[in-house]
Amino acid sequence: ASLPVEALHGIGPRQAEILRDYGIHRVGLLAAVPPATVQRLLGGRAGRTAADRARGIDPRPVVPRTLPPAATVRHTFDHHILDGAAVRATLLDLVVQLGLLLRRRDQAPRALTLTLRFAGGTRWEKTRRL
């Protein structure tokens, strides 16, 4: 409720100026004003919409942002490796890289998949839903 009235969808500079002229600077204050008063200030339909949105009432459907299908980080060992500690250290580095990539994109994954490909062509994969 400490957001400025301009933060509400549909409140432009002109409507915000009218509300400020009446001492209504914040969404919380707008929510406390009777809807009929907001309608008189901003006009019938615009006033009703602003009053409803200030109270959290918005009939528009919520449309989630679509996420890309995958974020991938890779490492290829240039020789056969049998040292488990080296493999674990590399996996940790890949996890850190992936975390940085997702933060940069402002994304949160629904699942993580770890895929290991071995020199002989075999593959091991594990998925964890979050």
Q: What is the mean pLDDT of residues 16-26?
A: 95
Q: Would you state the pLDDT for residue 69?
A: 64
Spell out the CATH class of 5-54: mainly alpha
Residue 46 pLDDT: 94
pLDDT above 90 covers what percent of the chain? 48
| pLDDT (mean) for 88-104 | 89
Helices marked H in 13-67: 13-21, 27-32, 35-42, 44-54
Domain residue ranges of the chain, discontinuous segments joined by +: 5-54, 84-129
Structure tokens given for 66 = 């679509």
Q: What is the DSSP letter of 69?
A: S
Backbone angles phi, psi at 124, to 5 degrees: -125, 135
Q: Flag whether pLDDT at 102 surpasses 80.
A: yes
